[in-house]
């Protein structure tokens, strides 16, 4: 299961994380973010076996232009995903 946000319209109420917002607002909403190529990556625990893999693309101004979220099994995470999972606990 996956979805991608590309236009403004949906946002997080308490921290204002949305398309067009700063990376900082997503860091507040998601916790630890790491660089992933030209963008950022975060993980959100869903249950004991699954995580939401959140990929964030930002322009040169630091404003978010795209957010892609994919539900994946913890066991199928790549090396960078497993390292990030260890960092967030």
For the stretch 38-87, pLDDT in tens is 899 999 999 999 999 999 999 999 899 999 999 999 999 999 999 999 99
% of the chain surpassing 90 pLDDT: 69
Q: Which strands sit side by side in the sheet containing 2-5, from one edge to the other? A: 2-5, 64-73, 50-58, 39-45, 34-36
Per-residue model confidence (pLDDT) at position 21: 92
pLDDT the model gives residue 14? 81
pLDDT at 27: 93
Q: What is the pLDDT of residue 34?
A: 94
Q: What is the pLDDT, as a whole number, of residue 62? A: 87
The mean pLDDT value for 32-36 works out to 93
* 35, two tokens: 């660089």
């Amino acid at each position: 299961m996956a979805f991608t946000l590309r236009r403004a319209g949906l946002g997080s109420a308490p921290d204002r994380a949305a398309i067009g917002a700063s990376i900082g607002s997503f860091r507040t909403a998601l916790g630890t973010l790491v660089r992933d190529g030209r963008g950022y990556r975060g993980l959100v625990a869903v249950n004991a076996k699954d995580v939401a893999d959140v990929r964030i693309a930002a322009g040169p101004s630091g404003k978010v232009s795209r957010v892609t979220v994919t539900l994946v099994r913890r066991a199928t995470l790549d090396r960078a995903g497993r390292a990030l999972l260890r960092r967030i606990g």
